[in-house]
Chain A
C-alpha cells in the first residue's frame, strides 16, 4: 500500500481509538463502580470496598437468580447444540431454494423483533403451562441460540471434503464410525463456537425472560431489571461486572480453542 504519511495514520488511529472508547467505556464503567463503598453508584469510587460483593453473595435471591441463569443457559445450550448441529448437517444435504428457505426460518428469531417473539411465546407458554418454569425459559432461549449453532457448524461443514467421507466408507467404516471419526472432528470448532455463543446469548437474554420468568424461575438479568425498577442499588454493578467477566472468559475460551483448531 502507498505510504500516506504520519498525519493520516495518526488521524485513523485517533478516530479508531475514539470509537472504541465510545463503545467500551460506558460498559467498563460499571467495574470500578462495583467496588465503591458508598450507597450510591459513583465513578470513580470514593472509597474502595468489597461491600456490595458481600451483599450480592449473601443475598439468596441474587444467588438463586445466578444459579437459575446457569441452569437455563446449560439446558438451552445443550438443546441448541443438538438441534442446531442436526439442522446444519441436514441443510448441507438439501439443495438450492429449499436450503435458502429453511436457513431463513432458522435465522428468523434473529430478525423478528425479540419483543414480538416474547409476546408470542408468552401466550403459548401460558397455554402449555411453561411460563415461570426453567424449561419454558430454556426453550425460549433455544430460539435465540439456535442461529449461532447453525451458522457456526455450517461454516465448519464447508471445510469437510465429501471425498473424506467416501474414503472412510471405502476403508470399511460404518456410517456411525464415519460420523464420529471424520465429520465430528471437522465440525468440532464450529460446534464449540456455537455452544459458547449460546451460553453467552442465554446468559444475557432479558426481553423474553421478563415475559416468561416467574417466582420459581428468575434469571440474573431479570433480577437486575427488577432491581433497577425498585431500588437503584450498587449491587447492580456487581451483577453487571460478573456478567462482563463471564462473557469475556467464555469468549476467550472460544478464541483459544479456535486458534488451536487451525494451526
Chain B
C-alpha cells in the first residue's frame, strides 16, 4: 500500500435541494496524500460536499476530478473511493473477514490475494485474528476499525469519512483519532474527513476547511486558522475566543483601531483584509493572550476560577459587563471575587469582520 492516492478537485461545484442552496459554487483542490477536514456546524454543506465526492449525490453545477479523471457523471462504484460512515454501515450478516473482503470480491480479485490483503488490512487496524468474529461481537471502536479496514483494503484513490467517530464515547474517540492519524501517516492516502468536532479536526488534519451556510469560510492549517482567522465566525469555531464588538475608528497600515461598545478605550490589533473605518468589527483576543497585571489600566472582576489541572480557566467581567475568558498557569492562584488588572499585546489581537452571532457567554447576565 505505497500508493498515496490521487488529488481530488471541485471545480465550481454547487448543489441545490429544491429551492434550498445547500452548497454555493466551491473551488477546492485537495492534494495527493493530503488529509483535509471539512469542519462546520450542521447544515453548513460539509456532508453534501462529501457525498458529491463519493458520487452518492450529483452536483447541480460544476465538475469533480479525481486525479486527471472527470468523475462527475460516474456512479460511486466506478470511482474507486473508500467511504467510512458514521454508523459504520458494516454488513451484519457477514463476518469481519467477509466485510473487509467485500470490495475485493466486487473487484474480482483472486481468492488467494483476497486472503492476504484482508489479513494485512486487519493487521493495520490492529484486529489480526478477528476475521472470524461476527460484527455483533465487536465493540463500537472495533467496528469502526473494521469499517476503516474495509475502506482501505481496496486501495482507494480517495478516502472519505463522514463523522466516523460521532457514535463513540469521548475517551474512545480520542484513542481512535490518534489511530486514524497514525494510519494516515502510514498509508498517506488522500483523505476528506467531515466533522463538527474541532478537536478531531485539530488532531488529524493537514488543512481544515471551515464551512458555513454552503460556503468554505476559510481553508488553512490548524495553526493559521487559530492564529490568523479571517472572520469572527472562524475564530469562534476553532478554540475559545474573546470577541469584543465595536466600530472601526481607523486603519493604520496593517493595524486597526476598534472603538469597543460601552468601553471608553480603543483596542489596537492586526486588521483582517477588507476592513474600513466606520465598519462594525470584533476584536479577537485568545484566552491565553490575556495576562494579569495588578497595575494595568483595564480592570476586571474574577467571577469564576476553575482549575483544569495545570491550567486555570478564569471568567472575568469588565466594567461594561463583557465577559473575558482567560487561561493562566495554575501557579498564578486567583481568588474569585477579586478585582484585578488585565493586559494584552496588540500583536495578539486581531480585528475581524463581525459575522458571528452573539453568544450568551459574551455577556455576564449575573452582573447587576
Taking Cβ atoms with an 8 Å cutoff, the residues of A that contact B are: 161, 163-164, 166-174, 177, 181-182, 185-186
- Complex contact A163–B106 (CB within 8 A): no
Least CB distance from B94 to A in Å reads 8
- Report whether A171 and B150 are in contact in the complex, using a CB–CB cutoff of 8 Å: yes
Contacts A161-B87, A166-B56, A166-B76; A171 near B106 (Cβ below 8 A): yes
Contact in complex: B103, A171 (CB < 8 Å) = yes
B87 and A173 form a contact (CB under 8 A) = no
| Complex CA distance for A172 and B79, rounded to whole angstroms | 8
Whole-angstrom distance between the alpha carbons of A172 and B290 in the complex?
Answer: 54
Taken residue by residue from 81 to 110, chain B's Cβ proximity to chain A (1 for < 8 Å, 0 otherwise) reads as: 111010101110100000000110011000
Complex interface: chain A residues within 8 A of B324 (CB): none
Contact across chains for B107 and A172 when beta carbons are under 8 A apart: yes
Q: Please determine whether B102 and A170 come into contact, CB atoms closer than 8 angstroms.
A: no
Shortest distance in angstroms between A180's beta carbon and chain B's nearest beta carbon? 11
Nearest 8 A-B pairs (CB), nearest first? Answer: A171-B103, A167-B89, A172-B106, A163-B89, A170-B83, A173-B106, A185-B93, A170-B76
- In the complex formed, the residue of B with least CB distance to A186 is B93
Taking A173-B102, A182-B91 as contacts, is the C-beta distance between A167 and B77 under 8 angstroms? no
Which chain A positions have C-beta within 8 A of B80?
Answer: 172
Cβ contacts under 8 Å, B103 to chain A: 171-173
Supply 8 A–B pairs (Cβ within 8 Å), ascending by A.
A161-B89, A167-B90, A168-B106, A171-B150, A172-B78, A173-B77, A181-B91, A186-B93
Number of CB contacts from chain A to chain B under 8 A: 57
Please name the residue on chain A nearest to B103 by beta carbon. A171
Q: How far is the CB of B303 from chain A (nearest CB, A)?
A: 46
Contact A171 B102 (CB under 8 A): yes
On chain B, the residues within 8 Å of A182 by CB distance are 91
A242 to B225, CA, bound (A): 79
Contact at B91–A170, with CB atoms within 8 Å? no
Q: Please, how many angstroms separate the alpha-carbon atoms of A182 and B75 in the complex?
A: 18
Asked whether, in the complex, the Cβ of B75 is within 8 Å of the Cβ of A168, the reply is no
Chain A residue nearest to B78 in the complex (CB)? A172
A186 to B91, CA, bound (A): 10
Whole-angstrom distance between the alpha carbons of A110 and B199 in the complex? 58
- The smallest beta-carbon distance between A184 and chain B, in angstroms, is 10
Expressed in whole angstroms, the Cα–Cα distance for A250 and B59 within the complex equals 52
Across the interface, do B77 and A166 meet the contact criterion of CB distance under 8 Å? no
B154 within 8 A of A: yes
Other-chain residue from B56, B77, B85 in contact with A172 (beta carbon distance below 8 A)? B77
Question: Smallest Cβ distance from A190 to chain B, in angstroms?
Answer: 13
Provide the residues of chain B in CB contact with A174, threshold 8 Å. Answer: 77, 106
- How far apart are A145's CB and chain B's nearest CB, in angstroms? 26
User: Which B-chain residue is minimally distant from A188 (CB atoms)?
Assistant: B93
Which residue from A163, A169, A181 sits with its C-beta under 8 Å from B77?
A: A169
Contact B85–A167 (Cβ < 8 Å):
yes
The verdict on B192 contacting chain A, using a C-beta distance below 8 Å, is no
- Alpha-carbon distance between A162 and B75 when the two chains are bound, in angstroms: 17
A170: which B residues are within 8 A, CB to CB? 54-56, 76-77, 81-83
Residues of A within 8 A of B154 (CB): 171-172
Residues of B within 8 A of A166 (CB): 56, 76, 83, 85, 89
